[in-house]
Amino acid sequence: MSAFLGFLSFVLFIALIVGLVKPTIVLRWSKNPTRLKVFGYWILSFFITGTIAVLMEDTQSNVDLAQDYIAEGKYEIAIKTLNDISEEDTLYNQAQILIHKADSLNYLREEEKKLAKEEASKKELEEKRKKAIEYLETEIKSINEGVDFSTYRGAIDVLQMELLLFSAWANIITESEKLEDPKINSLVKQLRLKVARLQTKEFPIMRKEYTKLVGNQLWENDIDVSANGTGRKYINFSGRIFAANKNKKNFQTEIHEILTMFRFKQSRYRWYKGADEYTYYNIYEGKDTDLVAFTK
């Protein structure tokens, strides 16, 4: 196209020379051909030719720029640049070919990214699987070798550390179950069963220990504390302070959370020890075998 425009400019220049010599040869359709008219038509033709050349140069620049973008792997930008070329443009077909090329390369790159991401996910999943198996086998082994729970006695905050141990086991169990792996599932069942047995044994002991510790703290306030029932699930508070319902409610509000942690089923308040009537609050309604689902 550039060669054609060059040839056209040459023809127009020849026409200008001829017209300036003899206007009638160039302006045959004009009734009054003059050199001035020849020059005017030449200026108009020159302007039109120049405009076409500029537009073609812009289009060619877009094509060249798009090819550079494709070479750099910037396919989406290349496609956007080529889409600006209209159907009337002589470079439209070339632009469409480049769009197809850029689109194909972009698709291949996206597929490569997808495959790489899938491969990374597989590696990550395999790594999680290995760690889960390692954690499960380690915890099962530690339980089989025996856990010294006597170290969690003597203070309420130390007693809560035992709850954290059960919470850690619960977390390992729940997170491992998400992996849905046959070997992991088998190990999870073993650990869950062992933890459930330990909790069945330990929660009554923890409730007894908590009752003793809190009883020692409240003795100076003339409040007697005891626990009874199967598994010591009922905790009793007796003292003159509990003659007022407001005191019962305020006291229960203060200790409700920790009583829930140790899975007391019910707390009972009497204004003197041995009274037949008492006010009670229901607390934990689950079982001691339930996984410990808090991290405090």
> What confidence tens digit (pLDDT) does each residue in 5-37 have?
455 565 555 655 655 556 666 565 666 766 655
- For helices 156-177 and 92-145, the axis angle rounded to 10 degrees is 130
Distance CA 177, CA 148 (A): 27
pLDDT at 280 over 90: yes
Distance CA 112, CA 106 (A): 10
Percent of the chain with pLDDT over 70: 74
Per-domain boundaries in the chain: 2-111, 147-282
- Which residue type does 256 have? H
pLDDT at 65 over 50: yes
Distance CA 293, CA 41 (A): 92
Query: What mean pLDDT is reported for the chain?
Result: 83
- E strand or H helix at 168: helix 156-177
Residue-wise pLDDT for 103-160, tens only, equals 787 777 777 778 878 778 888 888 989 999 999 999 999 999 999 999 999 999 999 9
Tell me if 80 sits within 8 A of 70, measured CB to CB.
no
pLDDT at 70 over 60: yes
